[in-house]
Amino acid sequence: MENLNLAIRLRESGKLEEARTMLLELVETEPENPSVWYQCAWVHDSLGLEKEAVPFYKAALAGGLAVEEKPGAYLGLGSTFRALGDYSEARNIFEQAMTEFPDHREFPVFLAMVLYNLQDYSKAMEILLNQLAQTSSDSGIRQYARAISYYADKLDQRWDG
């Protein structure tokens, strides 16, 4: 665990290549530790090595990753699929994450980005408007939250007679 913590500190301090080297070694020596796989995925993503990150995210999630790390792994994997242009996989990951962690507001927002990429603009806007209406602390948004929520799924509707 000490080596994993050191690798995390290296990543956090921007020493990404050093962290990557250490994490790749840890994957070999501690293949049963899903946190190692997750951190290895994260450092690959941080280095712009998205394709290389995917199998590490998958292994971390399949390996029984701790519940406190799972949302980050879902977010990382879904975002990585989106960045790679694999929008259907990204959508699947974010929908799975939303089912498993319904109180995590970040997943619908990232799903909305994927829906935008899939050209489902209406659904993407609906999700974002509802998230805005439900979470904003801005007084103007709060004042009109009901209207924002009401119109969220009616953006193309007209009331001109």
Q: Tokens 């009901």 appear where?
A: 146
Provide, rounded to the nearest whole percent, the portion of the chain with pLDDT above 90: 98
pTM recorded for the entire structure: 0.92
Q: Quick one: 1-85 is in which CATH superfamily?
A: Tetratricopeptide repeat domain (1.25.40.10)
Give the Cβ contact number of residue 17 at 10 Å: 10
Q: Residues near 45 by Cβ (< 8 Å), separated by ≥ 6?
A: 53, 76, 79, 80
Q: Tokens 């962290």 appear where?
A: 19
What pLDDT score was predicted for residue 160? 85
What pLDDT score was predicted for residue 135? 96
Q: Where are the domains of the chain?
A: 1-85
Low-confidence stretches of the chain (pLDDT beneath 70)? 161
pLDDT tens digits, 80-109? 999 999 999 999 999 999 999 999 999 999
